[in-house]
């Protein structure tokens, strides 16, 4: 992607709750058919969504194909890896990757990024992590990010290993735009849960302005922002404001 500006993707963690609870906000742009799906209505406002349900259950490829058919060209999905791989077998059973990628393959070119969220109790083990990531890349060569939640993953060996496999590190805070952003081809991925009240609190205009400035750094790098403060109206409002600040879905 050298010399080309990468898209900034901004959306919510899931679509059903947001649309059903705050249906007056959808559609946002243009019209949709009266019988449009909940996902189809969501796609009138945003061109990106994070699928969290994939963490709890494995959907059939036909389900992912259906979702892909309900959104317009240019829309993309982030899919959270199933907990059987990350939490129950703790990266030690790479054979589980095959069924996972077989199912999400139903999204086709609308699969934007795979999210690997690790349990807080899982420390960094270089041999286990390297074996898993090697198998991961044998199945999938696209954009991927990891959200490790054990302090040992802050070690230089861990960050270096992730970088070797082009796996971006998830951020759950709004970075200071004055800080130099790490280089590399891995995507930038922010999961914002709201603060101080997790899942409810809105981000201020000042915070969103700071986030927009940060997103303008490294324009050749793919950038994804997920608002997970969906238990209130905050996520829709915050995502819409940030879209305006960055000038739409593209930098």
Domain coordinates in residue numbering, the chain: 8-245
Q: How far is CA 90 from CA 94, 95, 96, in A?
A: 10, 12, 11
Cα 204 to Cα 242: distance, rounded to the nearest angstrom: 11
**pLDDT per 10-residue tile (average), the chain, 251 residues:** 67 90 76 82 94 96 97 96 98 97 97 98 98 98 96 95 95 81 76 94 96 87 93 91 80 34
Q: Quick check: 116 and 147 in contact, CB under 8 A?
A: yes
pLDDT of residue 17: 84
Block residue for tokens 């960055």: 246
pLDDT of residue 181: 57
Q: Specify the pTM.
A: 0.92
Cα 221 to Cα 172: distance, rounded to the nearest angstrom: 18
CATH architecture of 8-245: Alpha-Beta Barrel (3.20)
């Amino acid at each position: 992607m050298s010399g080309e500006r990468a898209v900034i993707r901004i959306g919510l963690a899931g679509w059903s709750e947001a649309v059903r609870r705050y249906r007056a906000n959808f559609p946002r742009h243009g019209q949709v058919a009266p019988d449009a799906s909940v996902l189809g209505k969501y796609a009138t406002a945003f061109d990106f969504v994070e699928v969290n349900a994939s963490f709890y259950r494995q959907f059939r490829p036909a389900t992912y194909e259906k979702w892909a058919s309900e959104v317009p060209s240019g829309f993309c999905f982030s899919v959270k890896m199933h907990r059987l791989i990350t939490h129950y077998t703790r990266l030690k059973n790479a054979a589980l990757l095959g069924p996972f990628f077989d199912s999400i393959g139903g999204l086709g070119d609308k699969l934007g990024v795979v999210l690997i969220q690790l349990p807080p109790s899982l420390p960094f083990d270089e041999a286990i992590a390297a074996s898993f990531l090697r198998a991961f890349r044998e199945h999938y060569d696209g954009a991927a990010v990891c959200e490790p939640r054990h302090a040992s993953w802050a070690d230089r060996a861990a960050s270096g290993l992730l970088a070797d496999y082009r796996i971006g590190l998830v951020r759950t805070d709004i970075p200071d735009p004055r800080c130099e952003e790490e280089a590399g081809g891995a995507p930038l991925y922010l999961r914002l849960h709201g603060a101080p009240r997790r899942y409810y609190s809105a981000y201020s205009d000042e915070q969103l302005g700071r986030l927009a400035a940060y997103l303008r750094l490294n324009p050749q790098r793919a950038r994804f922002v997920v608002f997970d403060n969906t238990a209130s109206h905050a996520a829709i409002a915050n995502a819409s404001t940030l879209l305006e600040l960055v000038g739409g879905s593209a930098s």
